[in-house]
Amino acid sequence: MDFLPIFQNVKGRLCLVVGGGSVGMRKAGVLLEAGAKVRVVAPDIDEALKAQANVEVVLARFDESHLEGVALVIAATDDCGVNKQVSVLAQARNIPVNVVDDPGLCSFIMPAILDRSPLMVAFSSGGASPVLTRMMRGKLETVIPQNYSRLAAFAERFRELVKTKVTNPAKRRIFWENALDGVVAEKVLTGDENSAEAMLQQMLENEDNIVRGEVYLVGAGPGDPDLLTFRALRLMQKADVVVYDNLVSKPIVDMARRDAERIFVGKKRADHTLRQEEINELLVRLAKQGKRVLRLKGGDPFIFGRGGEEIETLAAEGIPFQVVPGITAASGVASYAGIPLTHRDHAQACVFVTGHLKDGTMNLDWELLARPRQTVVVYMGLHGLDTLCAKLVEHGMPDTTPIAIVQQGTTPNQRVITGTLATLPGIAEREQPQAPTLIIIGGVVTLREKLAWFHPQG
Ligand code: SAH
């Protein structure tokens, strides 16, 4: 984070705009909207601005005396020398200063805004790309309709009442989310505030019905946040607690609600921060406190994810839950590496297995895996790679069979190492791929050369 986003109260305070052209006008306009008094300094100033209430016009070149009594400064001249002078003098006095289009001279920057007062959304790229910022705002314009102003005002009107009636903060948040996410909101948005109010009162009388903890068991996909489902994202925005392990990439965990509690439950090979039973119990305990618990899992929760065990415990305790599928590593990683898992000429079937070593051995159905015309995808297989290749050859798979290891697929650190059953163990020893890694075995691996250009990161 390069800047701290804050909203400043400038009501009734004197703010200075240096520059009387169209940009200066616009900045003065925003300051006036926020309730500021504005002093505009320039040798030449637009007539329309002069006529505005709360505007003090100074027809002069900028000098230090214009900073007197000023709470905030915006420099919007086309003279770099003047802009710099404003910035240096303001900063020497600790007055926040913004120089339009020159982030290096700014102590604060102005975001693009989506104004649904009292709801306000601010966007910034820290000066990196104002165009991108405006595009993002354009997208959100459609998601947050104009009448959200009305909804925000409605919520403000009942805020104190709800606070006195629902005293537990966690319960109160759930109360508001139910209200602002359901029928009450719909009524407000269509302008029927009387019905909305009646419904809200009814909800307040029946608090017990509102508050119930639940668990969302959500597949987060293999790493790239773009591969989340809409439902995953929506629930991530809703949950009070996020329970995640190290298969879930940081950018994804960062997408959960800002103030949600985050609990890391680890799980690297042989270094289990919490045992599975402890995770199951943790989910139950959190839900019983009335929280909405998001259990984020890498890939798909039901593919080598022990999701089944987690919901068994929840079901036994009568805790409501929902399971949201995710893109499993095999599918996400193969596609980003340019390896189709099935192909008319190479593979009519695809098998997913776990190559987890138990007591130094891998207990797999080797006959089945060594069959021709199929693709074998091995999860958690890197440590057993030597055994895996040797066993497949022993059971009749040609040692020239192509095989790939994909490191941290779909992330910026994706790396693909290819070879054959005979050569790959040696190559991997040299290349030292980093976890998590997925192993793909079969003729389809050779297609990568033709297809990988789709994904430059591969
Ligand atoms: N439920 C998960 C799998 C959990 S098992 C899923 O559906 O994908 C953990 C194994 O998944 C890792 O050891 C690795 O083999 C594989 N894996 C998960 N994410 C991966 C990624 N981004 N790149 C490569 N392999 C990955």
What's the rounded mean pLDDT across residues 367-391?
96
**Burial class (CB within 10 angstroms; exposed 0-12, middle 13-18, buried 19+) of 387:** middle
Residue 456: is its pLDDT beyond 50?
Answer: no
Residue 300 bears catalytic tag: no
Atom of ligand 1 nearest to the CA of 307: 1
Band (pLDDT 50/70/90 cuts) for residue 270 is low
Residue 211: is its pLDDT beyond 70?
Answer: no
Residue 267: is its pLDDT beyond 70?
Answer: no
Take atom 13 of ligand 1 and give the residue whose Cα is closest: 380
Tokens of 105: 């001279």
pLDDT for residue 343: 95
The CATH homologous superfamily of the domain defined by 330-454: Tetrapyrrole methylase, C-terminal domain (3.30.950.10)
pLDDT single digits (tens) 346-355: 999 999 999 9
Residue 231: is its pLDDT beyond 90?
Answer: no
pLDDT for residue 457: 47
pLDDT for residue 135: 86
Tokens of 174: 């759930």
Band (pLDDT 50/70/90 cuts) for residue 212 is low
What's the rounded mean pLDDT across residues 170-174?
86
Using left for φ > 0, alpha for ψ between -120 and 50, and beta otherwise, residue 342 falls in: beta
Residue 268: is its pLDDT beyond 70?
Answer: no
The CATH homologous superfamily of the domain defined by 214-327: Tetrapyrrole methylase, N-terminal domain (3.40.1010.10)
What's the rounded mean pLDDT across residues 413-437?
97
Distance 436 CA to ligand 1 centre (A): 6
The yes or no reply on domain 14-110 and CATH 1.10.1200.10 is no
Residue 444: is its pLDDT beyond 80?
Answer: yes
Atom of ligand 1 nearest to the CA of 439: 15
pLDDT for residue 271: 60
pLDDT single digits (tens) 303-341: 999 888 889 999 999 888 889 999 999 999 999 999 999
Q: Percent of the chain, pLDDT > 90?
A: 63
Task: Given the residues 224, 240, 245, 300, select the one marked as catalytic.
Answer: 245
Atom of ligand 1 nearest to the CA of 305: 1
Question: Under DSSP, is residue 322 helix (H, G, I), strand (E, B) or coil?
Answer: strand
H-run or E-run covering 374: strand 374-379
What's the rounded mean pLDDT across residues 290-304?
94
Residue 144: is its pLDDT beyond 90?
Answer: no
| Angstrom distance (rounded) from CA 67 to CA 92 | 11
* Domain definitions of the chain by residue range: 14-110, 148-209, 214-327, 330-454
Atom of ligand 1 nearest to the CA of 409: 23
**Pocket around ligand 1: residues whose beta carbon is below 6 Å from it?**
222-223, 247, 297-300, 303-305, 328-329, 333, 379-380, 406, 408-410, 436-438
Distance 315 CA to ligand 1 centre (A): 26
What's the rounded mean pLDDT across residues 251-270?
85
Mean of per-residue pLDDT scores for the chain: 90
Band (pLDDT 50/70/90 cuts) for residue 458 is very low
What's the rounded mean pLDDT across residues 415-431?
97
Look at 8-17, 209-218, 447-456 and tell me which has the smallest mean pLDDT: 447-456
Residue 365 bears catalytic tag: no
What's the rounded mean pLDDT across residues 174-199?
83
Distances (CA, A) of 111 to 123, 128, 132: 5, 12, 12
What's the rounded mean pLDDT across residues 51-71?
92
Tokens of 428: 């991997």
Band (pLDDT 50/70/90 cuts) for residue 46 is confident
Neighbouring CB atoms inside 10 A of 126's CB total 12
Look at 9-13, 98-102, 174-178, 209-213 and tell me which has the smallest mean pLDDT: 209-213
Tokens of 294: 């998001």
pLDDT for residue 29: 93
Question: Under DSSP, is residue 114 helix (H, G, I), strand (E, B) or coil?
Answer: strand
pLDDT for residue 195: 86
Task: Given the residues 267, 291, 297, 391, select the one marked as catalytic.
Answer: 267
Best probe residue, ligand 1, of 379, 380, 417 (max atoms within 8 Å of C-beta): 379
Best probe residue, ligand 1, of 250, 304, 406 (max atoms within 8 Å of C-beta): 304
pLDDT single digits (tens) 83-119: 999 999 999 999 999 999 898 999 999 888 899 988 9
Across 354-366, b (16+ Cβ under 10 Å) vs e yields ebbbeeeebebee
